[in-house]
Chains A and B, each alone.
Chain A
Amino acid sequence: MKKSVFLGTLAVAAVSAGVAAAGTLEDVKARGELNCGVNTGLVGFAAPDANGNWSGFDVAVCKAVAAAVLGDPSKVKYVPTTGQTRFTALASGEVDMLARNSTWTFSRDTDLKLDFIGVNYYDGQGFMVRKDLGVTSAKELDGASVCIQTGTTTELNLADFFKANNMTYQPITIDSNAEGEQQYLAGACDAYTTDISGLAATRASYADPENHIILPEVISKEPLGPAVRHGDNQWGDIVSWTLNALIAAEEYGVTSANVDELAKGTDNPEINRLLGVEGELGKMTGLDNDWAVRAIKAGGNYGEIFAATIGEATPIALARGLNAQWTQGGLLYAPPFR
């Protein structure tokens, strides 16, 4: 260890920081492990269990990519990142991809030199209040104190919303979700605001969920998606189309249970191309033709992942809503596999 450190320091002098590495795909394959930046802990999206095994909605994306690239969904090194460190960790190469409920925004995509490769969860910001407050709409929150997490897009949305509606509010800044819940329960703020998915999980965890309501207004668009670095389009394509494969698989009825059966060949040419029976789609990305089969087997298609981690059968009980397939009135729309 000592030696590699010393050599590394020497090499700094020789290699300038700007020199691009070999492609991320080659790096990952050589390492035999995918470095995936995840949340340090968010109910339903990323959480390690008592044995240290990670699971969750975002984690499933990491697993699918690892399965597609390396052939084994367990070959992921989860790098927990905080709100402050997540983008730098990606930009500096500490992680190969980020699947950390990060909102796709203009400045992040351009100025921070990230590429959001798609959306795996359409979220939006909402408010939770105590029922006995007598408030039924966010428009009635004039003058309220609001618990708000610092350093997130939600903080800016909140300011925009109150400004646009000509209302005032008193922000109670908090550092983490847990602290926010505690402050809200202790009555330090009238309303707690964060993404609706987070509010639903928080409400479900309370001893008296019936005494709290989530107001109907959704004040922002929060398309949460995995991100990769600017400049390595091949790697971006792989992550992007792995996510698309999971979404398309649900649309075409390919599940982890029947994928092996369907991979033998079906009457539907689109499924055949997706699963590599026809055409050479996998080869075009630098992988083999079975990549999508492995990605789907890792945790199932999008619908299966959703149901297992945050869906209505789980305690978090999120409805599909915007995250249904376009054929079901949602926004999920995978481009054609052709």
Chain B
Amino acid sequence: MSTSQTAAFVRKDMLPPKDPPTSQAGLVKWLRENLFASWLNTVLTLASLFVIYLLVTHFYPWFRHSVWNANSIAECRTAIAATWGEGATGACWAMLRERWHQFIFGFYPPELYWRPIAVFLGLLLAVAPVLFTQLPRQMLLFSLTYPLLAIWLLWGGSAWPVIMIAAGFGIGYLALRILGDISAILAVVVAIVAPVLFWLFAVGPLDEVLTKVIPLAIEPVASDRFGGFLLAITIGAGGIALSLPLGIILALGRQSNMFLIKSFSVMFIEFIRGVPLITLLFVASLLLNYFLPPGTNFDIILRVMILVTMFAAAYIAEVIRGGLAALPRGQYEAADALGLDYWKAQRLIILPQALKISIPGIVSTFIGMFKDTTLVTFVGLFDPLKGIPDFIRADFNWKGIYWEPFVFVGAIFFILNFSMSRYAMYLERKLKRDHR
């Protein structure tokens, strides 16, 4: 301050900030740093641009020439030739306009489409409280009852068997509550045995009586009517919901000190991981028929779902085992030092940390499993990627359609899988914040 009196010139106000030189700002800087930093970088950039150019010039006309209004591929071709000249090729989306419902629902009776739609909306509602902890916990009650509701809505028929299954779980829960105070082991045994006995012996006669008194039934839909994304999502969602708990149990079993449990888990995991999924699907669709007595009605979707679940569970178990192994020994010892029993220690200390570490692996297993549901085409089910397009092509009107179904089905799979992966990233971020 004191020098200000002798100075010849004193700036009283701040200079306005100047723009940085053009080479150091905005787009130009970004381009220089990211695309043209070195000669190798420049070459790669130009090569990539060329590839993009090739792809766009190759595919853009095909999309641009799309036809939406036609009744057959021949009409599509005529329309494209009329608008764009002879020899032009284009997408014939008219096929989707006529057949989109088969990609979504397969052969599900059209007048009953509201049922799968309701089930799908219900699925969103049921998973919401599981995925987002800020939602009211009461919604979990709906999530618990949802699977049985979905089964009833999708397959239809009498509601009583489904209610009976729910009643069985209710009996188990009651046994656990009432006997839990007396003896923990007794309670667990009764909670398992009582519902099984109930399902085996009481359900049949009870069902008959109740159906006679109050016939509570909606139109049944057989499994062979399922197809397309309805089939993929049914198998995928069922497999995901069942394989996570099974995978956790298998992972814990593999870490167990009890010889029988440990060796069973190891054998199960290694066997399933050592066998291709297609083999298991063939077992589900063909081999089981030889073993089951003739006339047993063992639903094909249920069979496939069970094997897909087992397959995914084996992989999930290994992913979670990685999470368990990553925990420092101190965590286990701390749990022991606190005097927690095995289940409490797992539930309160070990699993929350192990699962958090395993999230990326678990989600990629789920995504892989969801995409693998298209393999059911090999056992004669109508998956959206191959089964549905193949029979649409068997209609002479659409014979010759090839890329359109791939583009359409691929886009839907991308949307579904991308949301799963985004959710996993959200979850990771959220859990990290909690820990800070």
A42 vs chain B, min Cβ distance (A):
6
Say yes or no for B102: interface residue by CB 8 A criterion. yes
**Binary B-proximity of A85-98 (CB < 8 A = 1, otherwise 0):** 10011001110000
CB contacts under 8 Å to A, within B276-306, are 282, 285-286, 289-299, 302
Say yes or no for B356: interface residue by CB 8 A criterion. no
Q: Knowing A1-B302, A3-B199, A85-B285 are in contact, say whether A17-B290 is a contact too (CB < 8 A).
A: yes
B234 vs chain A, min Cβ distance (A):
14
- Assembly CA distance A314 to B299 (angstroms): 38
Say yes or no for A205: interface residue by CB 8 A criterion. yes
**Binary A-proximity of B152-186 (CB < 8 A = 1, otherwise 0):** 00010000010001000000000000000000000
**Binary B-proximity of A46-87 (CB < 8 A = 1, otherwise 0):** 111111100010000000000000000000011111101100
CB contacts under 8 Å to B, within A1-32, are 1-9, 11-12, 14-15, 17, 19, 21, 27
Is the Cβ of A82 less than 8 Å from the Cβ of B378?
yes
Residues on the B chain within 8 Å of A49, using CB: 395
Say yes or no for B218: interface residue by CB 8 A criterion. no
Residues on the A chain within 8 Å of B106, using CB: 52
A210 vs chain B, min Cβ distance (A):
14
B310 vs chain A, min Cβ distance (A):
15
B307 vs chain A, min Cβ distance (A):
13
Is the Cβ of A92 less than 8 Å from the Cβ of B286?
yes
- Assembly CA distance A176 to B406 (angstroms): 15
Is the Cβ of B298 less than 8 Å from the Cβ of A4?
yes
Q: Which of A1, A19, A50, A89 contacts B286 (CB 8 A)?
A: A89
Is the Cβ of A81 less than 8 Å from the Cβ of B380?
yes
Say yes or no for A146: interface residue by CB 8 A criterion. no
Say yes or no for B204: interface residue by CB 8 A criterion. yes
Q: Which of B222, B285, B378, B400 contacts A181 (CB 8 A)?
A: B400
Q: Which of B98, B161, B290, B377 contacts A1 (CB 8 A)?
A: B161
Q: Knowing A12-B291, A27-B295, A85-B286 are in contact, say whether A178-B390 is a contact too (CB < 8 A).
A: yes
Q: Is the interface of B mostly helix, strand, loop or mixed?
A: helix
Is the Cβ of B394 less than 8 Å from the Cβ of A41?
yes
Say yes or no for B402: interface residue by CB 8 A criterion. yes
**Binary A-proximity of B73-115 (CB < 8 A = 1, otherwise 0):** 1000100000000000000000000110110001100100000
Is the Cβ of A205 less than 8 Å from the Cβ of B400?
yes
Say yes or no for A329: interface residue by CB 8 A criterion. no
- B contact residues, range: 35 or more
Is the Cβ of B390 less than 8 Å from the Cβ of A176?
yes
CB contacts under 8 Å to B, within A198-217, are 201-202, 204-207
A211 vs chain B, min Cβ distance (A):
13
B150 vs chain A, min Cβ distance (A):
13
Say yes or no for A332: interface residue by CB 8 A criterion. no
Residues on the B chain within 8 Å of A85, using CB: 282, 285-286, 378-380
Say yes or no for A138: interface residue by CB 8 A criterion. no
- Assembly CA distance A1 to B106 (angstroms): 22
- Assembly CA distance A166 to B161 (angstroms): 66
Is the Cβ of A21 less than 8 Å from the Cβ of B294?
yes
Is the Cβ of A79 less than 8 Å from the Cβ of B199?
no
Beta-carbon nearest neighbor of A15 in chain B: B293
**Binary A-proximity of B377-411 (CB < 8 A = 1, otherwise 0):** 11110100011011111111001101000000000
A31 vs chain B, min Cβ distance (A):
9
- Assembly CA distance A177 to B393 (angstroms): 10
Is the Cβ of B102 less than 8 Å from the Cβ of A50?
yes
- Assembly CA distance A336 to B157 (angstroms): 47
Is the Cβ of A43 less than 8 Å from the Cβ of B396?
yes
Say yes or no for A253: interface residue by CB 8 A criterion. no
- Assembly CA distance A227 to B105 (angstroms): 31
Q: Knowing A84-B378, A85-B378 are in contact, say whether A4-B296 is a contact too (CB < 8 A).
A: yes
Residues on the B chain within 8 Å of A5, using CB: 298-299, 302
Residues on the B chain within 8 Å of A48, using CB: 107, 391, 394
Interface pairs (12), CB distance under 8 Å: A1-B155, A1-B161, A4-B297, A9-B292, A39-B394, A46-B394, A47-B394, A49-B395, A50-B98, A50-B99, A202-B399, A205-B399
Ordered nearest first, which 3 A-B pairs have the shortest CB separation? A41-B394, A41-B391, A47-B394
Interface residues of B (CB under 8 A from A): 73, 77, 98-99, 101-102, 106-107, 110, 151, 155, 161, 165, 199-200, 203-204, 222, 224-225, 282, 285-286, 289-299, 302, 377-380, 382, 386-387, 389-396, 399-400, 402
Q: A1-B155, A4-B296 are in contact. List 14 more A-B contacts (CB 8 A).
A: A6-B200, A11-B296, A21-B294, A40-B394, A43-B393, A43-B395, A43-B399, A48-B391, A93-B294, A177-B393, A178-B402, A182-B402, A314-B396, A315-B396
